[in-house]
Amino acid sequence: MPTYAKGLEGVIAADTKMSYIDGEQGVLEYVGIPIGELASHSTFEETVFLLWNLRLPRKGELESFTADLRSRYEVPAGFESKLLQMPRDARPMHVLRTLVSALSLHDTNPDANDLASLRSKALNILARTPTILAYYHRFRSGLPFVRPDPSLSIAENFLYMLNGRKPTPTMAKAMDVCLVLHADHGLNNSTFSARVVISTLSDMYSAIVAAIGSLKGPLHGGANEGVMVMLNEIPNLESVEKYVLDKLAKKDKIMGFGHRVYKAYDPRAAHLQSLAKQLAQDTGNADLYAKSKKIEDVMGQAVAAKGIYPNVDFYSATTYHCIGLPLDLFTPVFVIARIGGWAGHVIEQMSDNRLYRPTTDYTGPHAQAYVPMDKR
């Protein structure tokens, strides 16, 4: 008999070798390596190689992979005209969803699903999504495009194209760490969406676009924007406790707290906390970090016993703000990171594919007579 679980909670729908989560103990590993070690020692490019190949690269392999990725930063010829047709007041996630889909129009064989083709398409999407996002932000701001620099990493190049100047080493490192921390996270909603789409033997572009649509939702990737909105609503450090307790009394959600999986401290949040603190000090945002830490302290006293702790969105909001990202680019940056994981799961799904086709629990009536229009 089929097993019913609303929202598929607790249902195993795929096996994976990419990431492991123990929500009770607060553990996240990519291919067996603790996320803290990767955030401390790896780079986003190396982490993507790890997820796609299920092992760390040798020096020459990483150099080759990185060079290939950087050679694809430029968007295809004629693509910029599509970008210039976007409304300047459009939401970036809608623009990103549309233009990532449009990349398939410049692929001579967009439906090819052999391993080499999947990897090549994934590299194109991963390399060009930061370019699309930076170009659109400059276009809506009335600024000229800054062409990608293939001598820079994905993190450095994105910030360079966005702001028109190369980031400081601290900014670039913070951006890179955020990408590593967000790269993969088990069978979350957007990853599941990508695997469902590719299971039909669709194509890499369609799978990634479906995942972007999923991540856009405020219950998934959009939560980090909500954290920043909350921080801006609190006028000063002295107002934090009353704000939080009033919200809890009304049973309102405190953005950036709680997780569907983690009943312990999210290991990604733990790493981001120290990063956010240092960045806040370096960029003159110490008051913002102080408010964040105070919110965590108040929540710790109020709800930590219920297994409600900061999640990755909580301190990523402070980190993104200190890097200088506009609020509505928080979730699109999440997309850049998660493309690494989504594409890896698409490749993994296609290695042993089975079409997803769950059933439903029908709760409606039976044997109802059709009522003619004149008798309704």
- What mean pLDDT do residues 141-167 have? 97
Catalytic residue, from 137, 182, 220, 259: name it.
259
Classify residue 256: in a domain, yes or no: yes
259 is catalytic: yes
- What mean pLDDT do residues 34-54 have? 97
Whether pLDDT at 333 is above 90:
yes
Look up tokens 């459009």; give the residue. Answer: 90
Nearest to 52 by CA among 353, 342, 359, 358: 342
What mean pLDDT value characterizes the chain? 94
* Statement to judge: residues 83 and 183 lie in one domain: yes
* Statement to judge: residues 167 and 247 lie in one domain: no
* Statement to judge: residues 163 and 81 lie in one domain: yes
Nearest to 255 by CA among 216, 293, 218: 218
Q: Which range among 95-104, 191-200, 213-222 shows the weakest confidence by mean pLDDT?
A: 213-222
* The total number of residues written for the chain in this structure: 376
Q: Which range among 67-76, 143-152, 274-283 shows the weakest confidence by mean pLDDT?
A: 274-283
* Statement to judge: residues 251 and 171 lie in one domain: no
β-sheet bridge partners, residue 310: 257
Which is higher by pLDDT, 9 or 230? 230
* Statement to judge: residues 21 and 155 lie in one domain: yes
pLDDT digit string, tens, across residues 298-320: 999 999 888 889 988 899 999 99
CA dist., res. 348 & res. 342, Å (int)? 10
CA dist., res. 137 & res. 304, Å (int)? 39
Classify residue 362: in a domain, yes or no: no
Look up tokens 């439903």; give the residue. Answer: 360
CA dist., res. 36 & res. 39, Å (int)? 5
Residue 203 has what pLDDT? 98
Classify residue 357: in a domain, yes or no: no
Whether pLDDT at 144 is above 70:
yes
Among the candidates 323, 341, 366, a domain finishes at 323
Q: How confident is the model at residue 225 (pLDDT cuts 50, 70, 90)?
A: confident
Whether 153 contacts 44, CB under 8 Å: yes
Look up tokens 């968007």; give the residue. Answer: 75
* Statement to judge: residues 86 and 129 lie in one domain: yes
- Show the tokens assigned to 149: 């620099």
94 is catalytic: no
pLDDT digit string, tens, across residues 87-135: 999 999 999 999 999 999 999 999 999 999 999 999 999 999 999 999 9
Classify residue 361: in a domain, yes or no: no
Residue 265 belongs to a domain with what CATH number? Answer: 1.10.230.10
CA distances in angstroms from 308 to 142, 160, 267, 300, 311, listed in the order given: 43, 37, 13, 8, 9
* Statement to judge: residues 228 and 202 lie in one domain: no
* Statement to judge: residues 165 and 86 lie in one domain: yes
For residue 353, give every residue at least 6 positions away whose Cβ sits within 8 Å of its Cβ, in sequence order, or none: 198, 199, 201
Q: Which range among 45-59, 151-165, 184-198, 278-292 shows the weakest confidence by mean pLDDT?
A: 278-292
Classify residue 134: in a domain, yes or no: yes
Residue 152 has what pLDDT? 98
Classify residue 359: in a domain, yes or no: no
* Statement to judge: residues 208 and 234 lie in one domain: no
Residue 264 has what pLDDT? 86
Domain count, the chain: 2
Whether pLDDT at 212 is above 70:
yes
Classify residue 95: in a domain, yes or no: yes
Classify residue 11: in a domain, yes or no: no
Q: How confident is the model at residue 223 (pLDDT cuts 50, 70, 90)?
A: confident
CA dist., res. 204 & res. 121, Å (int)? 7
CA dist., res. 122 & res. 143, Å (int)? 29
CA dist., res. 264 & res. 268, Å (int)? 11
Residue range(s) defining the domain that contains residue 85: 17-218+332-351
Catalytic residue, from 137, 313, 321, 345: name it.
313
pLDDT digit string, tens, across residues 10-23: 889 999 999 999 99
- Give percent of the chain above pLDDT 90: 82
* Statement to judge: residues 55 and 165 lie in one domain: yes
* Statement to judge: residues 316 and 336 lie in one domain: no
Q: Which range among 64-73, 182-191, 220-229, 335-344 shows the weakest confidence by mean pLDDT?
A: 220-229
Identity of residue 83 = L
Please compute, for residue 300, the number of CA atoms within 13 A of its CA located in the half-sphere on the CB side.
Answer: 8
Nearest to 119 by CA among 101, 332, 127, 17: 127
Whether 216 contacts 331, CB under 8 Å: yes
CA dist., res. 281 & res. 93, Å (int)? 30
CA dist., res. 23 & res. 21, Å (int)? 6
* Statement to judge: residues 160 and 265 lie in one domain: no
Percentage helix, strand, coil, to 5, in the chain? 60, 5, 35
Residue 126 belongs to a domain with what CATH number? Answer: 1.10.580.10
Residue 1 has what pLDDT? 64
Among the candidates 305, 323, 341, a domain finishes at 323
DSSP state for residue 220 in the 8-state scheme: T
